[in-house]
Amino acid sequence: MKLTILGCYSATPRALTNTTSQVLEINNHMFLIDCGEGTQVQLRKHKIKFNRIKHIFISHLHGDHFFGLVGLISTFRLLTREQDLHVYGPKGIKEIITLQMKLADSWTNYKLIFHELISEKSELIFEDDDVEVFTIPLKHRVYTNGFLFKEKEGERKIDINAVEESHIDVAYFRKLKQGFDVENEKGVLIKNEDVTFSPNKPKSYAFCSDTVYNESMVPVIKNVDVLYHESTFLDKHENLADSTKHSTAKQAANIAKQANAGTLILGHYSSRYDDLNDFKLEAQTIFKNVLLAEDGKEFDFD
C-alpha cells in the first residue's frame, strides 16, 4: 500500500503548494482521492500514468477538493482514453461536469460513470476481489465523505518446500491457496496450514478531509492502519476550526487515538503557519505515530 500526496494545503493553490489530491496504490488499484485545481499537472510531475486511474473519489464540492476534476476528465478525452472512468462524489457532481461538457460540445469518448453519494451513513461504494471502499460520513460546511479503503484478505501462500515434501500434485495448488486441506499423491489428507503460509495482513487506509472534530467517525475507521485526518489549524485556533468546520492537529490526534489507528498522517494545512512541524509536535502530545503530509511525498506502507 503506497500513498502519494499530490497536494495537501487548504483553500487555494499557490506557487509552491497544491490543494488536496492524493493517489492511493492498494492491491494493484490506483485510486485518485480528491482533485484540486492543478491535479493533472501534479500527476504528470510525479509520472503517474493517467490510464492507471480508473476510480476517482471526491470528498466534497469545495473547490480545493475538486476544481481539477473537469480538467482531468477533459485531458483523458484529449488523450483518447478508452477505458471507463468511475467518479464517486456528492450529488451534483455529475451536473457540474456534464454541463461543462455540453457547453464545450466535448463529450468523452470513454464511458464516464458517476456514483453520486447522498447517504449520511457509511456505505460500501466499491468492491472487487481485492479491495473494498466505504464512505466515512464527515461533518463539514457542505455534504462531505471521507473514504475507507480496505484490502481484502489475500490468498494463502504455497510453501514450496513443504508441498514437495508432502508430495502434493500441482493441480491442488489452487485449492491450497484458497485454504482447503488436500490429499497428496498417496491419498493422505494434508492439512492446509502445514504446507502454506498466511497471507499478508490486509491493510487499510482512511482519508478524512474536510471535517470538524467528529467522534462519530471512530467506529467506522476503528483499527485502521493509516489515517489521513485534516488538521487545518493548530490548537491555538480551535475556535476558528469550530466555526469553519475544520479540525486542529490535536483533534486529529484524538480521533487517531480513539480509533486505535496505526499511523496518523496530518494535512490540509492553512497557509497561515510557517512551520509544519508544529502540527506534528502538537499531535504527538496525544498520539505518538504521526507523519506530516507534504506535496510530492510518498508513503510506502508495505
The answer to whether the beta carbons of residues 276 and 267 sit under 8 Å apart is no
* Stretch binding a copy of itself (CB under 8 A), from 68-76, 145-153, 185-193, 228-236: 68-76
* Smallest distance from a copy of itself to CB 100, Å: 6
Q: Is the dihedral of CA 240, 244, 249, 251 positive or negative?
A: positive
Q: How many CA atoms lie within 13 A of 124 on its CB side?
A: 6
For cell 500527476, the residue is 43
Count of Cβ atoms closer than 10 Å to residue 174 Cβ: 11
Which residues are within 8 A (CB) of 90 and not within 5 positions of it... i.e. 6 or more apart? 58, 60, 61, 116, 117, 118, 142, 143, 144, 145
Retrieve residue 275's grid coordinates: 512551520
| Residue nearer to a copy of itself on the CB measure, 105 or 275 | 105
Residue selected from 27, 48, 52, 75 as contacting a copy of itself according to rule CB under 8 A = 75
Does residue 64 have an active-site annotation? yes
What is the rounded CA–CA span in Å between residue 266 and residue 243? 20
- Cα 224 → chain centroid: 12
Q: Which of 62, 150, 245, 246 binds a copy of itself (CB under 8 A)?
A: 62
What character string, x for contact with a copy of itself (CB under 8 A) and - otherwise, covers 27-56?
Answer: ----------xx-xx--xx-----------
Q: How far is the CB of 165 from a copy of itself (least distance, A)?
A: 55
Question: Which one among 84, 95, 120, 153 touches a copy of itself, defined by CB under 8 A?
Answer: 95
Q: Work out how close the CB of 175 gets to a copy of itself at its nearest, in angstroms, rounded to a whole number.
A: 49
C-alpha cell at 129: 476481489
Nearer to a copy of itself, 100 or 192 (CB): 100
With CB under 8 A, what is the number of residues at the site for a copy of itself?
A: 34
Kindly tell me which residue out of 51, 82, 84, 92 binds a copy of itself, with binding defined by CB under 8 A: 92
* Bridge partners, residue 148, by sequence: 134, 206
Under a CB-based contact definition with an 8 Å cutoff, are residues 72 and 47 in contact? Answer: no
Place of cell 470528498: 59
- Greatest pairwise CA separation for the chain in angstroms: 73
Q: Which stretch binds a copy of itself (CB under 8 A): 13-21, 119-127, 168-176, 236-244?
A: 13-21
Which candidate in 34, 64, 210, 295 is catalytic? 64
Contacts of 181 (CB under 8 A, 6+ apart): 189, 190, 191, 192
Among 71, 179, 199, 262, binds a copy of itself (CB under 8 A): 71
**In whole angstroms, how close is the CB of 77 to a copy of itself at the nearest point?**
9
Q: Decide: is 142 part of the binding site for a copy of itself (CB under 8 A).
A: yes
Q: Which residues bind a copy of itself (CB under 8 A)?
A: 11-15, 37-38, 40-41, 44-45, 61-63, 67-68, 70-71, 74-75, 78, 90, 92-93, 95-96, 99-100, 103-106, 141-142
Which residues does the annotation mark as catalytic? 64
